Structures are given as structure tokens and as C-alpha cells.
Structure 1
């Protein structure tokens, strides 16, 4: 089996963890007899996966050229995720005047998994510079 390069490992692990998490998330909703595809859950997983992949790939691409600014670029990526949250998800979640636990979980679960993996791989990347 060929050895995967660092960005490919990140993307493969990101997709695997998000797919497993999505399955578990739907399983929990199903066990509690709650609607499976409400609260923009699919969009949330897809957007978080795409943003995490793009941000990490950009960090990886510029790791040598901007190695002293990687931390700021990483924080800029987090800011970008918040912008997407407030533009795509927040208006729908707050349309009834309240953000429910289900709405929060639909966004926060894939966000947290993506953020953890981005942080882990970015720190590994910086350690190898």
C-alpha cells in the first residue's frame, strides 16, 4: 500500500471521522425519535468538512513561506468558520427566537471534530518545520 502524503492523511482522516460522527449523530437522533435531517445537519457537516480541508491545505501550502504567521492564518481560518456560521446557520437557528440543543449540536459536533483535527495536524506540521 502506498504511503499517503500529509495533506492526504488529513483529508482521509477528516472524512472518516466526520462520516462516523454523522452516522453516530443520526443514530442518536433516531434512537430518540427525533427528526434526522432537520437543523441543516447535512449542510453543517459538508460545510465544516470543506472549510477544514481548504484551511488546512492553505496552511500546508504556505507552511514554508509564511511559517512565522501560521498561527495567525490558523486563527483567520477559525474566523472564516464563524463568518460561515453566522451567514449560513445562525439566521435559520434563531428564526424562532431560540437556538435549541439540537440546532447547536448539528453545527457544533462537526465543527469541534474538524477543529480538533485541524489543530492536531497543524501542530504536527509545525513541529516538522
Structure 2
């Protein structure tokens, strides 16, 4: 499991860094005066949550193998809810553009979460 986890972390960090700089490059080219703080917050939040959540899934995979799918769905719901709550507490406006900036990072992280959790579920007997 350690080798697979290292592979997951390496690939995840590489893809998230590339997508972050690509996202910033596109936004800077199209909207040079746009405030990019929400993009930074979004990538940091989604990356940290994905790393913590994946570690939690690994820890819980042995003991709660029958409930792992439900834990995964609850974690995804908690991630969106937490991000929206943080935005509301910080009085950040949730326009379509702000949500899109969050959603791009969210989808990239979600793809990795789904892939890795499905690999864990396939190995559990």
C-alpha cells in the first residue's frame, strides 16, 4: 500500500501543480485585472482536503470496508459545504466566476479521489 500511496501522491501533486499554473495562466491572459485570491484558496483547500481525506480513507479501509463508499460520499459533501461556509464567513461573493474557479480545482481533486478510492475498494475482499 505504501508504494501505491507514494505513486498517488506523486502523480496528484504533479497534476495539481500543472493545473494550478495553467489555470492562473489562462486567467491572467483573459482577465489581467482579476483578483486571483479565490483561485489560490481553492487549490490550497482542495489539495489539503484531498490529501487528508485520502489518508482517512486508507486508515478506515480496513475497519469500515463495507461503509467506505458512504464515507467517500459524505466526505465529498463535507468538502463542498466547508468551502461554501468558509466563503460565507469571509464575505466572499459566490458569483458564477468564483464558483467556476473553485469547481475546476474540485473536479481535478475529485477525479483523483474517485480513482484512488476505487482502487482501494477493488483490493478489499
TM over 0.5: yes
Aligned to 2:113: 118
Instruction: Tell me how many residue pairs correspond in the alignment.
Output: 121
Aligned residue number for residue 40 of structure 1: 38
Q: Which of 66, 86, 89 in structure 1 is aligned with 2:87?
A: 89
Aligned twin of 1:68? 66
Residues in 1 aligned to 2:17 and 2:33: alpha-carbon distance in whole angstroms: 18
Residue in structure 2 matched with residue 23 of structure 1 by the alignment? 21
TM-score by length of 1: 0.84
Alignment check: 8 A CA contact 1:39 1:93 kept:
no
- Render the CA deviation track for 1:73-101: whole Å, top value 9, x for unaligned: 1011112102212112354123xxxx132
Q: How do 1:103-114 residues align onto structure 2 when only pairs under 5 Å count?
A: 103-114=98-109
| TM-score, length of structure 2 as denominator length | 0.86
Name structure 1 gaps, 5 residues minimum: none
**Of the candidates 11, 14, 18, which is equivalent to residue 12 of structure 2?**
14
Per the alignment, do residues 37 and 6 of structure 1 end up closer, same or farther by CA in structure 2, a change over 3 Å counting? farther
Which structure shows the higher helix fraction?
2
Q: Could you list the runs of 5+ residues in structure 2 that have no partner in the other structure? A: none
